[in-house]
Chain A
């Protein structure tokens, strides 16, 4: 039996484990990336590799040490570097003396044959058509539920009365989902999640709203972005990120089959500023920032790994876009040296600025003498 492992992607790791198990493989569960993982990755990765590359390399080494013999990851068609990561990971790991097979899941648009061949390698059990249907329906629903639980936690965290309650609830939800065995369970859990979140005591006020855009891995994986969403939530800010795993999978795996990868409306919004597809999520970052501005958000935070090319392009465009739409902008570059406290300081300052801006705007609207009121308080 194959012993499969894969990169760690938040709570969806459990879902992938279930998927691989259903296909008849043993799974070596990747660990949540820690400092140790990152330093392992940094040790063997080239200096200018981006943060996701280093984290994933560290995760692979840990999984191989734990006895995995097959690594599964996704490919890509460029021009973002991430499409070549499996090739380079394989080379580096082999040069370190590990023996394993690397299976790359390429996007179906241009590499349908390779994708089918790779999936065939992973299916080690006789499955009927009905089985496939069952598995896919279950996995899809589970991904959606995970996203839902997370979205609800973001919405409720800034409103909670007792600090930390939402985080606790969210962990409980993730656990519940992890234990689900079939589709029926998931439907039950869905109702339970809603109930759990409803039970949390909430304040009634309109929190500051900040949108998070950027490169997919650092946006989705809390271990890579120093739990920025929790940080924002604790400051009483409603943070919404532009990418979730279910929709990301849908747009990049399914729609790619019809040669339409990526979200179309977002692309259209970005096109006056960003005329060319330049790989990664550079264009989506710009488009989503505009979308957030149109929805009345107060600010946008761009998360990007150091040396990420598409995000650098986006970073030079975003200040102008954000100024035009009158919305705050904070670029955050992440690498293995980024410290949590430094980030917290920057974010606190950013949030204070946005709060002041909002107040200023509100006063202007009422027609008060702006400075008089400010001095008066």
Chain B
């Protein structure tokens, strides 16, 4: 039996878990092709016009899988911890797909609401395994191995690698250290983000993303806001930004966002105001399906040049 996994949205944050779990259950996992012009166009065709690029992309990836697999895995991410939920578009994703894509009838919709206790994740895995007629022990085994592989994935990030982009080591003596914050489905999709991270590394920057900051460090900044944000990914981004600003471990921050992203207008404005207060250079780059290479290149180059010059100036003053 073939199960299709769309390479979009939550995929980039959790793919080792998803892939390992289904493989261990004895299913053939087919991941949709890496994002390309055809996939974006297919998504734009069917998705509602106001949606952000990542959601349109998800439509495209599902269409890419249609006809090739027996069922398509569509997660409805509701909660993975106590404090926050996900963007409403994640919550309504299967509903949107069901209404936008006409002949989609093999959707494996999994509602992921595992915020209350640790056991919930396993019982969810068990119920998914039961759908494929796999028993308790098979599910337990798959669950353990999946968890292990997600742990390794996270560890690799902490060591400074970026596995989804195939970056294993970064030069530690780079001229500028750059915090690049944004959601995993933008940062790690080289097509839609025009390969921002690789570009920055080539320009001589050491890039740090939210995944490369330990959870414990981010937790410390949970009380910074009067009211916790409602979205798990946004909390992650904002806390990382606070961490960067407080510890001064980076020379500048780039926020990568999608055009029309709902939660990001709040996240972005808060970061902008805080960065201004602390005199940290801050740049927002918004992507959509029409973003051109050159415009982005120019902005990134200018930002990096500015950081380098600033560093030299500071060195002279000291």
Contact = CB atoms under 8 A, between A and B. Distances in A.
Nearest to A270: B95
Given A78-B85, A79-B86, A316 B51 contact: yes
B231 A79 contact: yes
Interface string A343-355: 0000000000000
Given A84-B266, A88-B266, A79 B273 contact: no
B261 A48 contact: yes
Interface stretch (B140-148, B199-207, B221-229): B221-229
B94 interface: yes
Contacts of B264: 48
Interface in B244-290: 259-266, 268-270, 273, 276
Contacts of A282: 88, 92
Contact of B92 (A75, A276, A307): A276
A313 interface: yes
Contact of A307 (B47, B96, B100, B262): B262
B227 A46 contact: no
Contacts of A304: 50
Contact of B85 (A46, A79, A81): A79
Given A279-B88, A316-B47, A48 B95 contact: no
B159 interface: no
Nearest to A80: B88
Contacts of A78: 85, 230-231
Contact of B95 (A84, A88, A92, A317): A317
Nearest to A318: B99
Contacts of B92: 274, 276, 278, 282, 310, 313, 317
B263 A81 contact: yes
Nearest to A111: B227
A87 B227 contact: yes
Given A46-B265, A316-B96, A306 B76 contact: no
Contacts of B94: 275
B241 to A, nearest CB: 14
A139 to B, nearest CB: 27
Contact of B262 (A277, A309, A321, A333): A309
B260 A307 contact: yes
B111 interface: yes
Contact of A49 (B78, B86, B227, B265): B265
A310 B87 CA distance: 9
B273 A91 contact: yes
A270 to B, nearest CB: 10
A83 interface: yes
A95 interface: yes
A312 interface: yes
B91 interface: yes
Interface string B70-85: 0000001010000001
A88 B269 contact: yes
A315 interface: yes
B230 A309 contact: no
Interface string B88-105: 110110111011100000
Nearest to B93: A313
Nearest to A276: B91
Nearest to A83: B230
Nearest to A304: B50
A87 B225 contact: yes
A195 to B, nearest CB: 45
B interface SS class: mixed
A306 B50 contact: yes
A48 B276 CA distance: 20
Contacts of A333: 50
B270 to A, nearest CB: 7
Nearest to B258: A48
B48 interface: yes
B115 to A, nearest CB: 13
Interface in A51-86: 75, 77-81, 83-84
A73 to B, nearest CB: 13
A91 B48 contact: no
A100 B260 CA distance: 31
Contacts of B270: 88, 91
A274 B97 CA distance: 11
B88 A278 contact: yes
A274 B95 contact: yes
A307 B50 contact: yes
**Residue from A46, A273, A276 having most chain B Cβ neighbours under 10 A:** A276
Nearest to B277: A95
B215 to A, nearest CB: 22
**Residue from B92, B259, B264, B270 having most chain A Cβ neighbours under 10 A:** B92
Interface string A319-358: 1110000000000010000000000000000000000000
B230 A317 contact: no
**Residue from A304, A307, A319 having most chain B Cβ neighbours under 10 A:** A307
Contact of B269 (A92, A278, A280, A316): A92
A188 interface: no
B51 A79 contact: no
A315 B47 CA distance: 10
Nearest to A84: B266
Contacts of B47: 316
Contact of A276 (B76, B99, B226): B76
B84 to A, nearest CB: 8
Interface of A: 46-49, 75, 77-81, 83-84, 87-88, 91-92, 95, 273-280, 282, 304, 306-310, 312-313, 315-317, 319-321, 333
Given A46-B265, A278-B91, A310-B88, 15 more contacts: A77-B230, A79-B91, A79-B230, A81-B230, A83-B227, A84-B229, A91-B273, A92-B269, A275-B76, A277-B91, A278-B88, A279-B88, A279-B91, A309-B262, A315-B50
24 contacts: A46-B268, A48-B260, A48-B261, A79-B85, A79-B87, A81-B263, A91-B270, A273-B98, A276-B91, A276-B92, A278-B89, A306-B50, A306-B260, A307-B260, A309-B89, A309-B262, A310-B92, A313-B89, A316-B96, A317-B95, A319-B99, A320-B99, A321-B99, A333-B50
Q: Lowest 8 CB-CB distances: which A-B pairs, in order?
A: A78-B230, A313-B92, A309-B262, A316-B48, A278-B88, A48-B265, A278-B91, A320-B99
